[in-house]
Amino acid sequence: ERTSHFEKYQNNDTRAYPYIKEITHKSNDDNGNKHRGQTTAQWEKDIVYDEGDIVTYKGIQYKVKKGMAGAGYIPEEQEGWELLGNNGAIPEWGADGQYYKGAKVSYQGTIYELLAPELNTGVKPDEHGAWNIIGGKVPEWKADRQYYKGSTVFYNGTIYQAKNLTPAADKPDGSSRWVAGWSAEKTYGKGDIVTYKGIQYEARSSSLENIPDETWNWKATNGFIPEWNWKKTYGKGDIVTYKGIQYEAQQNITNIEPGDNTYWKLRNGAN
């Protein structure tokens, strides 16, 4: 009976899930340690893994290189484990892979993280909203999937970032849930709003090639208080965070650290 359940497990038959933990544990060894005889989803600290076993740890897959990996041998810290994928990079998505929450994969140059508990095999990351975009190449927007807050996409030649959870078919150029990302090749007018490194900025004046977090031409919006940046010129009234304390600029300032009372005023009642 166990063999048939394991065959079902290998074929991703959900009816076998209740049996997976039972049939993939071998009997305890002489020291009382459990052994794993087959591939497992998540690494478990109380299990001894055998050569060839594959686990997922912090969203990355590892394989036992030789012999066995003792109980408590953390994959990212022990030589007995090897990273799967391209020289230790995020592994490529595979159509026959079974992925679980937290798994990170690369697909067509974009890095995705799975937010659902698990997902059926063969579901491409760019086609299902359970795969969240976390880095790499910016993908083209697709109408048949949702996007999480912070996801970036290309649409009609422009980069957009999702301000919050965005449902399928919500076009970036026609929805308040999307905001266009800053581009060094575009000229912006006063009042234009962009996103840069996940933060929204509003143009104080016409701007071309002025990086939002480095120049006076842009001001953070939506109540976000950015960290002080020595490269940026701040205008009167700008607010920054420095060493955990908020300061407000008393005049135009360049390369003067907050704490100088001539140029910066403490905020929030700080002393």
Which residues of the chain register pLDDT less than 50? 1-40, 87, 271
Q: Which residues are CB-neighbours of 18 under 8 A, at least 6 positions away? A: none
Q: Residue 226: which H helix or E strand, with range?
A: none
Specify the pLDDT at position 87: 43
Cα–Cα nearest to 212, from 236, 237, 244, 180: 180
Do 126 and 106 meet the contact criterion of CB atoms below 8 Å apart? no
Q: Which tokens sit at 256? A: 């003067």
- By C-alpha distance, which of 101, 113, 104, 122 is closest to 61? 104
**Are residues 189 and 203 in contact, defined by beta-carbon separation less than 8 angstroms?**
yes
How is the chain split into domains, by residue range?
2-83
pLDDT (tens digit, 9 = 90+) per residue, 230-252? 888 888 888 888 888 889 999 98
On whether the CB atoms of residues 233 and 219 are closer than 8 A, the answer is no
Residue 204: C-alpha distances to residues 50, 221, 234 (Å): 61, 11, 11
Half-sphere exposure at residue 98, Cβ-oriented, CA atoms within 13 angstroms: 13
Structure tokens at 170: 């919500």
Nearest by Cα to 105 from 92, 115, 117: 92
Bridge partners, residue 246, by sequence: 241
Alpha helices in the chain (DSSP H): 2-10, 17-24
Could you give the C-alpha distances from 95 to 104, 122, 147, 159, 224, in angstroms and in order? 14, 4, 21, 28, 40
Specify the pLDDT at position 69.
63
Torsion of CA 116, 120, 124, 129, to 10 degrees: -30
What digits encode the pLDDT tens for the residues 169-178? Answer: 999 988 888 9
Backbone angles phi, psi at 161, to 5 degrees: -125, 135
Q: Which of 163, 233, 229 is nearest to 204 (CA)?
A: 233
Count of CB atoms within 10 A of residue 62's CB?
A: 24
- Residue 33's CB is within 10 A of a number of other CB atoms, namely 14
Q: What is the pLDDT of residue 41?
A: 60
**Residue appearing with tokens 């698990």:** 118
The reported pLDDT for the residue numbered 80 is: 74
CA distance 258 to 227: 11
